Amino acid sequence: MTLHKTSRLRRDWQILALVAALLALVEFCVSSQFHRSVIILSMIHSVAAVGLTLLVGYAGQVSLGHGAFVGIGAYTVAFCLQRLGLPVVFALAAAVVLPGILGFLIARPILRLSGHNLALGTLALGAVFYVVAAQVRDVTGGLDPGIVDLPSMAFAGLAHERVVFWLSIFALCLAAAIAASIVDGRFGRGLMILRSSELVAECIGMNTARAKSMIFAVSASLAGLSGGLLALYLRSFNASAFGVGLSIELLMMVIVGSLSTIWGAMFGSFAIIVLPNLLEGFDQAKQVVYGVAMILIMLFAPNGLGETLFRVFTFRRKSA
Amino acid sequence: MFLQVVVSGIVVGCVYGMAALGFTIVYNATKIINFANGEFMMLGGVLLAGLVAAAKVPIPVGILAAIAGCALVGWVLQRGVLDGARNSDPLTLVMLTIGSALALRGAAALAFGRDVSFVPEFGVLPLVLLGNVYIPSQGLWIIMVLVVVSAALWYVFSRTMLGKAMRAASQEPRAAALCGIEPRRTAALAMIMAGSIGGLAGAMLAPMSAAFYENGIFLGLKGFAAAVAGGLGNPLGAVVGGLLIGLVESLTSGFVASGFKDAVSFMLLILVLILRPQGLVGKAVVRRV
Amino acid sequence: MTLQATLEIAGVSKSFGGVHAVADVSFFMARGEVTALIGPNGAGKTTLINLLTGVLPADRGTIRLEGRDLAGTPAYMRARAGIARTYQTPQMAQGMSVLMNVMAGAYRFGKHGLLGSLLRPWLVMADNEELAERAGTCLARVGVSEEWWGRPAADLPYGHQRRVEIARALAQDPKLLLLDEPAAGLNRSEADELASLLVSIAADGRAVLLVEHDMGMVMSISSHIVVLNFGRKLAEGAPETIKADKDVIAAYLGIVEEVA
Ligand SMILES: Nc1ncnc2c1ncn2[C@@H]1O[C@H](COP(=O)(O)OP(=O)(O)OP(=O)(O)O)[C@@H](O)[C@H]1O
Ligand SMILES: [Mg+2]
């Protein structure tokens, strides 16, 4: 029985410990302000991408609107800090809970759609959020000025960036732990069945409508957490950060990483955040490169680039 | 005031109707939802603006060039990208067309810059005053173009061999293949048609609402909304749906708040998808288990 | 007929537009027995399975499991109440190993859902061990040896997929097992193995409904046969009765005997 790795959970926890240790090490070693910010942004986006992997990769329900939940998380944090004067911990908790509840409520009607209709519906949902966020100026500040001057996170002699770095490590590990214990348990197996056939999932006793709502809610919560952290880190932002572009970037992160393991999302986020910063003059050609990369990946590695590379690599080693 | 709002709704609706037509033609030929359809319109506008403003090309030549350019892009999209993935699952196809949309948007930004550009009105036609309702000259152009395009499409699909072949290929792909109608060819044709219509619509719209490389996303979504409201796959429905979306938008911005007009048509799209996926006028279809 | 039928179907009907796929069908099934449901293509057999599992709502009629009316009970609740099934074309989940597929079948025996696994992830491990144990037993029983367990289920040969499907259904520990053409695509010796497997499954005290075109298998292992034709029940009885029934021969067996 042990031969077949009945519990992948143990392995996933080992990976998690490794990732946490690595990130902590990086925190101590990185001196450049620029490198630090790239890594922080990668981690923050990873949190949302891990959640989206659960929804798209495991449950097979595509969402082109998750940028909206990131936005809701960000505005929740801003509102809690600026208007309600709550401590950061509560603000972040609210940024997890509120998108989760909204996600759960929206999921039931929206997940009655499937295939390209679901893609269309979620895309439209994300666009609605963007329009509303840009218009409801008394909460969001609209496009100009947006939210400005959130408090600095500097704490006990640690600079703002360092505190956010540690917060992000913590959030990312939390997200990964949650995702791992979901996918490696019976609920995760049920989701994988559901991805292939809703009929079969019903017939093994899974309440598919509820399961889909729950996983949508979890992914919305993680997107909210990611948005909350983003707000804390940036301190000033506006609605344009949460448009359709963000939703597509999140989905790209999942696809560049892997559709079948939660660890791919980290690789994907890192790739999507780092790439534009590495190539000289890349910003100009950013969208073209993204678009072409997306086409090539979907044509030649539809399971995710990270996963395909990993397979090729391990296969080479085995056969060598 | 009310009638004026209705008129501008109809004018915008005609543009959305054209967007929905391209989308419907492609869907009928390949069952693919082309998320890059809005980019055809963006390209049409940006190409026209680039040619007219920067290269001082006369407007009619500019329009023809915009149509040709978008048709070419459509052909490349079908042959270069979608043909290679004909048997993929919906998610892959959706992602492929989104990737193409991103690439087109980026290419437009690189080639024509990231600034909003303007195109002069086409002129020639007069500004019409009916009672106290104005129909702007560009609006007349747009209405006329939609009428001509619809009539041409009706003729092609019901009277020519080519159009009949395309319809057969979508309804009975295997039988059509046996009769020598090649699905790859009809798919490419459909995409070329969608490209041309999109390019034309984008060019017509440019004098009214400026050309901008990021216009494609929202124009695409409006086109989808129109096509879905009219019943996906139904060309007449697409035009009606376009007019409907245009009216709803125009009424919202006239009487509620102009900032929310986009949100209202997107909400409409979501509601129709969920509550009446067969469209506002279509009949229900039985799902097989 | 046993006093308490495991399954009791009375006057069940379902039509699609103008097609009467199942029309006014009634019969009983008893635990410990294999009941066969036969009939020509399009007779309504698969539709009846869909009605029993609740994935399609019946237009009319009642379905009782151990005396309890299932009207309005959704498919997943029926599965939890002890109805399991296989499919006419095997439905292996993509990207899951054989063992995982069967573990998924034991869904209703898992101890915690999403919230539980979030709050106490360590329990998930123990739970997984237990479900894997159960799945392994079922796989061994249907004759899929351990070397296959780690492979992607969707890549298995057809015959093996059919067995894994039965194992997945068994992992649900069903009171009622519905099998949609389990012998299709199997060779003679595989079909014989399947026949004795079904007999032993029934001997556990389960009610087994066998939809099958292989008349040899149907006649040798079923205690009771129900014949459908154009959605209607044409005849019902012991194998000997059915073999002798003129209507059945006319509608169905005649064709099969020519082939046999
Ligand atoms: N979801 C559905 N929608 C419309 N018609 C259906 C549906 N399901 C089945 N039918 C029709 O109902 C009738 C019975 O079909 P069913 O699949 O139950 O037959 P069957 O006995 O299982 O046949 P086979 O031996 O070929 O599997 C057929 O005429 C079929 O076309
Ligand atoms: Mg059948």
Bridge partners of residue C83, in order along the sequence: C176
Alpha-carbon distances of B243 from B10, B35, B177, C110, rounded to whole Å: 6, 21, 36, 53
B236 band by pLDDT with thresholds 50, 70 and 90 = confident
Does residue C243 or residue A253 have the better pLDDT? Answer: A253
| Residue B138: closest CA among B59, B58, B53 | B59
Backbone φ and ψ of B281, nearest 5°: -115, -10
- CA C213 – ligand 1 centroid, Å: 15
Is the pLDDT at A185 greater than 50? The verdict is yes
Longest dimension (CA), chain A: 63
Per-residue pLDDT reduced to its tens digit, C173-190: 999 999 999 998 888 888
Residue ranges with strand state E in C90-182: 176-180
Calculate mean pLDDT across residues A168-173: 95
pLDDT at A281: 66
Alpha helix stretches (DSSP H) within chain B? 2-30, 37-49, 59-76, 90-112, 137-159, 161-171, 173-178, 183-209, 215-229, 235-255, 261-275
- Distance from the C209 Cα atom to the nearest Cα atom in chain A, whole angstroms: 16
Alpha-carbon distances of C181 from A239, C160, C184, C247, rounded to whole Å: 57, 14, 6, 23
Contacts of A311 (CB under 8 A, 6+ apart): none
Structure token pair of residue B232: 């996906």
Bridge partners of residue C178, in order along the sequence: C85, C209
The residue of chain A nearest to residue C165, with distances taken between CA atoms, is A200
CATH number assigned to the domain covering B2-275:
1.10.3470
SS3 C87: coil
Rounded CA separation A190/A53 (Å): 15
- Distance from the C161 Cα atom to the nearest Cα atom in chain A, whole angstroms: 14
Rounded CA separation A64/A56 (Å): 10
What count of other Cβ atoms lies within 10 Å of the Cβ of residue B183?
A: 18
Give, for C13, the enclosing helix (H) or strand (E). strand C7-16
The one-letter code for the residue type at A256 is V
C1 band by pLDDT with thresholds 50, 70 and 90 = very low
Q: Is the peptide bond before A99 cis (omega within 30 degrees of 0)?
A: no
CATH architecture of A2-244: Orthogonal Bundle (1.10)
B13 band by pLDDT with thresholds 50, 70 and 90 = very high
The one-letter code for the residue type at B57 is V
C74 band by pLDDT with thresholds 50, 70 and 90 = very high
pLDDT at B283: 56
**Domain-by-domain residue ranges, chain A?**
2-244
Q: Out of A9, A193, A202, whose CB is closest to C75?
A: A202
3-state secondary structure B28-55: HHHCCCCCCHHHHHHHHHHHHHHHHHHC
A173 band by pLDDT with thresholds 50, 70 and 90 = very high
pLDDT at A3: 43
Is C91 in contact with A1 (Cβ distance < 8 A)? no
C259 band by pLDDT with thresholds 50, 70 and 90 = very low
Per-residue pLDDT reduced to its tens digit, A30-56: 888 888 889 999 999 999 999 999 999
The subunits that touch chain A, with at least 3 C-beta pairs less than 8 Å apart, are B, C
**B289 vs C contacts (CB less than 8 Å):** 50, 55-56
pLDDT at A147: 85
Is the pLDDT at B286 greater than 50? The verdict is no
Per-residue pLDDT reduced to its tens digit, A101-142: 999 999 999 999 988 889 999 999 999 999 999 988 888 888
Per-position DSSP letters for B197-233, written without gaps between them: HHHHHHHHHHHHH-B-TTHHHHHHHHHHHHHHHT-TT
- CA C44 – ligand 2 centroid, Å: 7
Per-residue pLDDT reduced to its tens digit, A48-101: 999 999 999 899 999 999 999 999 999 999 999 999 989 999 999 999 999 999
A/C interface, count of CB pairs below 8 Å: 128
**A203 vs C contacts (CB less than 8 Å):** 53, 55, 75-76, 79, 84-85
Global confidence as pTM:
0.90
SS3 C97: strand
| Residue B91 at interface with chain A, using a CB cutoff of 8 Å | yes
B282 band by pLDDT with thresholds 50, 70 and 90 = low
Per-residue pLDDT reduced to its tens digit, B131-178: 788 888 888 888 888 989 988 888 888 888 777 877 777 777 777 777
Is A195 in contact with C91 (Cβ distance < 8 A)? no
- Distance from the C259 Cα atom to the nearest Cα atom in chain A, whole angstroms: 34
Calculate mean pLDDT across residues A253-279: 85
| Residue C17 at interface with chain B, using a CB cutoff of 8 Å | yes
**A3 vs C contacts (CB less than 8 Å):** 146, 150
Rounded CA separation B210/B221 (Å): 18
Per-residue pLDDT reduced to its tens digit, A290-316: 888 889 888 888 777 877 887 777 766
Rounded CA separation C249/C252 (Å): 5
Ligand 1 atom closest to the Cα of residue C44 is 18
The one-letter code for the residue type at C33 is E
Per-residue pLDDT reduced to its tens digit, B21-59: 999 999 888 888 899 999 999 999 999 988 988 788 888
pLDDT at B63: 92
C17 band by pLDDT with thresholds 50, 70 and 90 = confident
Say how many CA atoms lie within 13 Å of C255 toward its Cβ.
10
pLDDT at C140: 93
Contact A298, B85 (CB under 8 A): yes
Does residue B213 or residue A229 have the better pLDDT? Answer: A229
Say how many CA atoms lie within 13 Å of B126 toward its Cβ.
3
pLDDT at B170: 72
**Domain-by-domain residue ranges, chain B?**
2-275
Q: In this structure, which ligand is nearest to the CA of C226? A: 1
pLDDT at A127: 92
C258 band by pLDDT with thresholds 50, 70 and 90 = very low
Per-residue pLDDT reduced to its tens digit, C114-168: 777 777 777 888 888 888 999 999 999 998 888 888 888 888 888 889 999 999 9
